[in-house]
Structure 1
Amino acid sequence: MRRALRQVWHASRLLGGRHFSSNGFNKVRKVPLLSAPSAYSLSKPSYNEDILRSLTSLRAHSSIGATDSTGDAVDAARAGPLLEYERRISSGELADGDSFQIDTLRVLQRLYEQLVENENACKLDRYNTSEKSGRSRWLWSRFIPQSSYSPVKGLYLYGGVGTGKTMLMDLFYDQLPSNWRKKRIHFHDFMLSVHSRLQMHKGVADPLEAVAGEIADESILLCLDEFMVNDVADALILNRLFGDLFSRGIVLVSTSNRAPDNLYEGGLQRDLFLPFIATLKERCVIHAIGSSTDYRKMTSAEQGFYFVGDECSELLEQKFHELIGQAVPGPQVVEVVMGRQLQTLFYQVPLGANGCAYFPFEELCDRPLGAADYFGLFKRFHTLALEGVPKFGLHNRTAAYRFVTLVDVMYENKSRLLCTAEASAVELFERIVTVADAQKISPRTSPSQKTDDLDLCVDNELGFAKDRTISRLTEMNSREYLEQHEADLMEGVAQEFGEKDDTLHA
């Protein structure tokens, strides 16, 4: 039985034992998010030679013939996610884990090789494609209808939270040739782009067809992370949009917590969404990552800044002011999609300064805001101090949905979170259950029924999403995540300083 992959992402790039002592954070008592797992060692793991032999055998059996743009022979098995996985294991960036992820790597390697072999047929090389713009190409197709399905099927990866889906897809994506028409984007961001494009094409006979033409012209290989559908507008768009995209040769690689048949389960007008599921299953290989291990919870989860209790509000403000240093905080305006602005009106709390924003929970999650607003916010701010996250239930289900989206966007943007909450992350969502979970709960008819039980929220989408949110909150408050965040900030400052220095010497 082959041992396999366990991600300790960015472990080899961590900053040793460095902490946030410059801000005094190492002196603060942290409140754990969950029942803390044992501390996870960041030392380089001993390399398992059995894994190397297994991978060498896998690569030898998966070799295929291919040609590059000059006609020279290419051994596709000498590149791709398997070789990169092997390199990261050897360097200590990854540690060995379970067999489910290595099975997924085999599937990704096979897809990589098929794409290399069919590079010309798939029209992946951006330099060999037509120079006509997306809209011009769309207009031309009105006179000469074209339908060209890709000879290579895409891939739809799904599984539980924290099982490494995003890491594996990114490992695959990072190995793709730079000259290919490819794009990696979070599903939230992708749908925001679609809606923005539809607005731009108002007045066109078929704006959705125009949008599909533009997307296909820009990226034949489309990698979507966290595929999820909980909005009726998105559900109604997806069938038409992807039907057109697939007919234009798009290859889709996607990750999701949900199996295709469970997407948009219980949603409004779901019967109109079902054809999309059939199309997805026809144009993609469906692969389940069967692991039940949440690797995010294997980090040092007690190192973060998740404070439980109302009495921690002053502590949160203190940490916020330590982060912004001598900067003077004040209300600010953030640009979001399609020219809208995210405006906040505070009572006695400043909005932000020096890349750090301070919000009461109600300002971000009890107002009609969505993913577009949050993406706009974290394009400008790298840190959020969020005050007063409540327990969620039937009475504030909409706020729970927004909080889930907020955490998703923060995680995608690798942002830092400081917050005060009514309870631990697990306890925040304990009243949110799926239909299956609700059926396991014995109904109470006693007059002494607890008030909390009356606030039970039965919601499949939210019930599945809560596990992802808890998992991400755990990782975002780990020492590894926070040290990487600080390292990224320092790298960004260094790059900015270098650019300014170059300008001065020009």
Structure 2
Amino acid sequence: MTGMLARYEKLVAAGELRSDPDQRRAAERLDRLQKDLEAETSGGLLSQLFRTKKTRPQGVYMWGGVGRGKSMLMDLFVETLSIGEKRRVHFHEFMLEVDRLIREERKKEAGDPIAPVAARFARDIRCLAFDEMVVNNTADAAIMARLFTALICDEGVAVVTTSNRPPSDLYKDGLNRSLFLPFIELVQAELDVMPLNGPTDYRLDRLGDIDTWHTPLGDEATAQVREAFFRLTDYKPEDAEHVPSGQLDLGGGRTLHVPKSLKGVGVFSFKRLCGDNRGAADYLAIAHAYHTVIVVGVPRLSPENRNEAIRFTKLIDALYENRVKLFVTAAAEPEDLYVAGDGAFEFERTVSRLKEMQSAEYMARGHGAD
């Protein structure tokens, strides 16, 4: 099988990828990790039996803005890694599995469940690859340091992960964040942190001529935001029925169901976001968790649905202030959504923001508040 770096260079030579210094450095580092893992497993049973902490391959943490090629590099790495004991999984899905295994271990009443859960993963895995490490769940944050210390330091599993944020910004402003700080220290000590945070957003290139605002409501508008979702997430359209959903922690024991949630892209209905009684804190949680939000079914607004209009304004404020990319299907253009009646004047500020959010300058900004 062709190695990681050779495959990357072949794609650049063929014009399928642009030459990018940050990507090449990451490809070289992942290629070295491949060689370390393959050399370790090629020694057979005795090599694995006498494996020590000092010789365990060091994992990699790649972080950067949307479209910098992190998922592409992860795909190449896993595809070209010639060992059987590897697994690529979305981080949210992995933590749900961890939660299930912890519950099973607790039923045995045999002490701390973390170590045996880590050992269960390590039995079949030498390299664990995560796409999109994002932490917005208090329960996950509380156990991650112990879990990954057991996986990396005790079991010797090599971890490779991508994230939109540097380690120090994970779970930023989260509830009881002090419980999470040991995990950040672990990442900085045990993983090779590699930034891919240059100005070029290759994923935006793939959007091509797809606009961000689509009107009127109907099949054509839906098809456009659907296509944007698949281009932004690299998910195969033919497997659309299996796009994962998510549960967003809103704090206080409340969660929000996200019908489509993948690689930092969340899909919501206007009715779910603005028809229910929600406040600014809920919309901030969405803005922090997702770099791109797709909202479908925005109706015309008027005094008759004033409450929904107010919530929509709060949603747009949260997304705008956190530089979240927004795709919408709506009954009208922003300036025609709320044209008359009580509340129309106040809505003009939201119209201004919606127009700016469609601009190339706004779309090129990185995720997160200034």
Identify the TM-score tier after normalising by the shorter chain.
Answer: 0.5 to 0.7
Partner residue of 1:115 out of 23, 37, 61: 37
Higher-Rg member (1/2):
1
Partner residue of 1:188?
92
Partner residue of 2:353?
none
Aligned CA distance change for structure 1 residues 216 and 467 (closer, same or farther; 3 Å): farther
Partner residue of 2:145?
239
Q: Matches of 2:137 and 2:159 in 1, distance apart?
A: 21
Partner residue of 2:57 out of 152, 168, 182: 152
Aligned CA distance change for structure 1 residues 389 and 218 (closer, same or farther; 3 Å): same
Counterpart of 2:27, as a letter, is L
Partner residue of 1:47?
none
Partner residue of 1:214?
120
Q: Matches of 2:167 and 2:159 in 1, distance apart?
A: 14
Counterpart of 1:173, as a letter, is V
- Asked if 2 retains the 8 angstrom alpha-carbon contact of 1:389 and 1:422, the reply is no
Partner residue of 2:4?
81
Q: How much has 1:421 moved relative to structure 2?
A: 4.1
Partner residue of 2:20?
98
Q: Matches of 2:66 and 2:72 in 1, distance apart?
A: 12
User: Which segments of structure 1 move beyond 6 Å, counting only runs of 4 or more?
Assistant: 317-320, 354-357, 364-367, 403-408, 433-436, 449-454, 466-471
SS at match of 2:106: coil
Are residues 1:395 and 2:279 paired?
A: yes
Q: How much has 1:112 moved relative to structure 2?
A: 1.8
Unaligned runs of 5+ in 2: 227-238, 243-247, 301-313, 324-344, 351-361
Counterpart of 1:200, as a letter, is E
Partner residue of 1:292?
199
Unaligned runs of 5+ in 1: 1-77, 131-145, 324-353, 358-363, 379-383, 411-416, 437-448, 455-465, 472-506
TM-score normalised by length of structure 2: 0.63
Q: How much has 1:368 moved relative to structure 2?
A: 4.0
Counterpart of 1:152, as a letter, is P
Q: How much has 1:277 moved relative to structure 2?
A: 1.4
Counterpart of 1:419, as a letter, is V
Number of residue pairs matched by the alignment = 293
Q: How much has 1:88 moved relative to structure 2?
A: 2.4
Identity of aligned residues (%): 28
RCO higher in structure (CA 8 A, sep ≥6): 1
Partner residue of 2:68 out of 123, 145, 163: 163
- Asked if 2 retains the 8 angstrom alpha-carbon contact of 1:316 and 1:385, the reply is no
Partner residue of 1:431?
318
RMSD: 4.9
Q: Matches of 1:307 and 1:386 in 2, distance apart?
A: 14
Once the two structures are superposed, what CA deviation does each residue of 1:419-452 show, in whole Å capped at 9, x if it has no partner? 33479xxx9644347799xxxxxxxxxxxx9689
- Asked if 1 retains the 8 angstrom alpha-carbon contact of 2:134 and 2:170, the reply is yes
Alignment of 1:44-443 (within 5 A): 79-92=2-15, 94-120=16-42, 148=53, 151-177=56-82, 179-204=83-108, 205=110, 206-246=112-152, 247-303=154-210, 307-308=214-215, 312=217, 315-316=218-219, 368-370=255-257, 386=269, 395-398=279-282, 401=285, 419-421=296-298, 429-432=316-319
Aligned CA distance change for structure 1 residues 429 and 253 (closer, same or farther; 3 Å): farther
Q: Matches of 1:467 and 1:197 in 2, distance apart?
A: 40
Q: Matches of 2:69 and 2:160 in 1, distance apart?
A: 15
